Structure 1
Amino acid sequence: MSLDKGTMLNAIRLVAFDVDGVLTDGRLYYGADGESQKVFHVRDGVALKVLPDVGIEVAVVSAKDSPALRARLNDLGVKHAFLGCHDKLQRMQTLAGELALAPHQVAFVGDDLVDLEVMRWCGCGLAPADAYSLVQERADQVLPVKGGQGVARCVADLILKAQGLYEQAYTLAADAHFERQRDPSS
């Protein structure tokens, strides 16, 4: 299904991302001590920082939790990180309530069956190009990139362009201060 950009993306004030299969390629690397590595795309980091800079909240919601994921989200200053979360719908409904947002103002990016419920609830459900087939069928839009290959940046670009914030956002991102360490609690 294709997005009606004039309504769906224009209303978005919060975008939430699953991790494995969205911000990563979905592969899990296990060492003798358990899961030890995750690979993130640098372009996604720009997206997760630039969206809040122009007033669009960002959340990361994952059933998994790991030191690598926590370190990455902390480096990016992600305020709304819900790791080890097994009820994504309830978590997103609570967050939307705390931010005084209606479902149509929320976008969720997911790749597997566990994401479908929250994708149906929110105003805009997006899926990477390699998401599970049923998720692709039910998403409002399937993105042209695979998980771990810049999904968050692709989503950010869609939203920023729809809201007329693209030039402003990337002018901010080009500034030398953009790469500063961000405090998630601010």
Structure 2
Amino acid sequence: MLDKLKNINTFIFDVDGVLTNGHVLVTETGEQLRQFNIKDGYALQLAVKKGYNIIVISGAKSSGVEKRLLGLGIKHIFLGVSDKMAVYHQLIKEARLKADDFLYVGDDIPDLAIMKLAPLAVCPSDAVEEIKEAAHYISPKAGGAGVARDIIEKVLKIQQNWFDAQPSAHDGAISR
């Protein structure tokens, strides 16, 4: 599997259950709150800083999620997507991604079709069984608990791109 990481330049992530722990806290006003991992955030912003493409495709539509991702420097954000496969095919065509250029990280049934097509399919340790069966790599980390950091760190280390001479303590929050 490590050999497949040498040419990766694009990471495609689901949100709920991958970048978050999959729990949704619903407030009395109906606002839906999600929890992100700060170590995942560091790895995501470092990958962006190093020139990697980070793409997010999610069925969820949340302004909080969008603000978090934008704060990390992620520009390719597709939220509220009902047909992930259509977006996936569009991205491959428009970005001219080659099979050894990218990987996909998903955790549940809406990700299954893409997981079966992706040249490198990754999932968190707490993904559903069907996704684990389709994955080329099952991270020891759970969704929202370091799975993004795990795969980004592996890729960047293999490509000797992990170290940052000027690391940022910025957590990706958008300040006003």
Q: TM-score, normalised by structure 1?
A: 0.85
SS of residue matched to 1:11: coil
Amino acid across the alignment from 1:103? A
Contact 1:21 1:148 in 2 (8 A): yes
The 1:171/1:93 distance shift into structure 2, 3 A limit, reads farther
**Aligned length in residues:** 174
Deviations 1:84-122 (A, max 9, x none): 012222212212222221233221100001111112222
CA apart distance, 1:149:
0.5
Higher helix residue share: 1
Asked if residue 110 in structure 1 is aligned to residue 101 in structure 2, the reply is no
The answer for the alignment partner of 1:161 in structure 2 is: 157
Matched-pair contact (CA < 8 Å) for 2:72–2:171: no
1:160-185 C-alpha deviation (Å, 9 max, x unpaired): 12222223xx334x2x5x739799xx
Aligned partner (choices 167, 170, 175) of residue 179 of structure 1: 170
> Are the aligned partners of 1:112 and 1:131 in contact in 2 as well (CA < 8 Å)?
yes
**SS, match of residue 103 in structure 2:** strand
RMSD: 2.0
The answer (yes or no) to whether the contact 2:120–2:136 under 8 Å persists in 1 is yes
For 1:135, which of 114, 131, 140 is the aligned residue? 131
Residue of structure 2 equivalent to 1:59? 55
Q: Against the structure 1 CA distance between its residues 171 and 44, is the aligned structure 2 distance closer, same or farther, given a 3 Å change threshold?
A: same
- Take 1:14 and 1:63, find their aligned partners in 2: how far apart are those partners? 20
Tell whether 2:30 aligns with 1:34. yes
Which residue in the other structure is 1:79 paired with? 75
Q: Are 2:36 and 1:45 equivalent residues in the alignment? A: no
Q: Structure 1 vs Structure 2: percent identity of aligned residues?
A: 33
Deviation at 1:52, TM superposition (A): 2.1
Query: Whole-Å Cα distance in 1 between the matches of residues 54 and 70 of structure 2?
Result: 13
CA contact (8 A) 2:41 2:172 kept: no
- Mapped to 2, the partners of 1:121 and 1:44 lie a distance apart of 25
In the alignment, the residues of structure 2 paired with residue 19 and residue 73 of structure 1 have an alpha-carbon distance, to the nearest angstrom, of: 10
Query: What aligned pairs does 1:11-26 form with structure 2 within 5 A after superposition?
Result: 11-26=7-22
Partner AA of 1:171 in structure 2: A
Judging changes above 3 Å, is the alpha-carbon distance between structure 1 residues 40 and 180 closer, same or farther for their aligned structure 2 residues?
closer
Distance across 2 between alignment mates of 1:35 and 1:110: 24
2:133 matches 1:147: no
Give structure 2 stretches of 5+ with no counterpart.
none
Q: Unaligned regions of 5+ residues in structure 1, if any?
A: none
